[in-house]
A and B are shown apart, each in its own frame.
Chain A
Amino acid sequence: MKQILAILWKDLQVEMRSKESLLSMLTFGLLILVLFNFALEPTPELKRQITPGLLWITFLFSGILGLNRSFSLEKENMAIHGMLLAPVDRGLIYFGKFGANLIILLIAEFFTLPFFLLFLNMPLFQHFWWIIAIIVLGTIGFVAVGTLFSAMSVNTKMREVMLPLLLFPVSTPILLAAVACLREIMAGEPFDTYQQWFTLLAAFDVIFVTIPYLIFEYVIEE
């Protein structure tokens, strides 16, 4: 646990000092929103329909930016070797990186949310805690696989391109479940109507965290 926190804290400190990931993710999220507005010219009715999907598309795209940086920083100064030399279980390194990526992306998402309220006039605060819960659950699953794939894609020739190619098809179940939950919540439906989706999303999270944890050592061994 101490080792996980040490890695997590190191990544957060790097981020807090440079704020590179957060700023780029935020700006990127804002840009997507603006582009979508021009591309679709949504009416209030259409806005209601597209918001859950749009929200997740924005998060996924900005998430890619953060995940791409996660291991390129380690790679740049061969910092990954230092981490590998430490007498730490490789699975713990995974959890450290995963935790840091998760927190950074969640912060970025949290700051992007008000823009949805502002531009799309969505009643996001009506069921605020439920929406937050769904966002956290969806982000966990996405970042869990993303962290694994980011450690792989950083070693390929087309780094930044490779990650979404790997991550998007594999994370479709997460996206589906998360969008389905959000759709029901925003329509003001009671918990019973999306309870199944909610459970499914949680189950996906468990699977998507466990498998990368077990397999991570094969990705970073040199």
Chain B
Amino acid sequence: MAREMAFITRGVRRCSTPRFLLWLTPWVALLLFGAYCAGLCLVKGLNQTNMDNRYAFGLWIFVDLTIIALGAGAFFTGFLLYILKFKELKAVINSAVVIGVVCYSGAMCALMVDVGQPLRAWFTFWYPNVHSMLTEVTFCISCYLTVLLIEYLPILLKNRKLREVPAFLVFEFELHKLIYVLAGVGTFLSFFHQGSLGGLYGVLRGRPFAFREGILVWPSTFFLFIISAAAVGPSFLIFTTWLVETITGKRLAKDRVFDLLARISGILLSVYVLAKSVDTLIWINRTSPSLGFAASQYYDWKPFGTWILFAEIVLCGLVPALILLTPRLRARRGWLIPAAALACCGIALNRYVQTVQTLALPTLSFDRFLSYTPSWQETGTFLGVLAYGVLVYSFSFRYFQIFPEERELKIEVRPQQEEPALAGRF
């Protein structure tokens, strides 16, 4: 047990090994259940799910799109720190990378189950359809996951015990010096795959609810997905940092770091809300009517009423943007955290609308309104991905220096111990 504790960063306090194991137990159980569900889908096929030829995108794609947007904090924080030199973000960059690794690897796992036939997974890379946005997504996500794993290496090798090995220490040092190259590549890849994910829906001419006009080959959703991911990445970082602070009872980042992230998120969220509003107005007044549909028709099908549009743009877009842009409000955790959470919910809602509502709505005269509820195998696989994320983050938080300011901030929350009075001055 003492050996295990020797891996923990000097000067930070972590719970005892038994307590840590107790925390891990339910997540490991959930991961095993998820693995069983995924195994069923891979062995028996997609008949284990409630998807069909018409409802080909379900819970998994919704989850993939959401966690990839939330994981955008990794590329965007890296871009701000290493390219634009926002030095304050050093305090959260490691957390952003861990979140990125968790989100992207989790999304890849879910995609693998969704696509099925893992033995033929390499076909995507060997015989790519270069005209497909999905191909761009596959290549970019795979490449970016590789970049993230390389970016994760210095965090791992900086572990107190591992860096005692000279080869690890030296490699970590040299890799860290080149990290700005990887940050640049990550930004390039993220920029394109976030856009391509949005583009996937925007080019669906047969689905007027999702179809959008745009610039050259890129529909407006291409740009909206990029802006929304960049806007919500810092918000998700705020939310996760606060969540870890709450669970562990420690302060992990200074207020100025939260403030900077909130400001960045607020500015980008405002740009997104503006762009989304303009896009929606063009779609309502021009795009949709030109395809033979009045936009109001889409919202006749309950539960997808106009409330969903209001919730997406105003409640989870404009409201958090205003809070995050107001210095007095974002300085208070009581406002900041709900605003960050609302922004994250807004992006999740957007991805839900793009995936689920698009497929549910009838487009041809003989179509009917479809409903879809994920099967327990689909839900189990999703929960497995969630458990995997919690486990990776928990291990990373325990053994690696995820928040470099943690030790410095300890003084502000730690009650003083009673010590014997035999010390002189010290």
Report whether chain A binds chain B. Answer: no
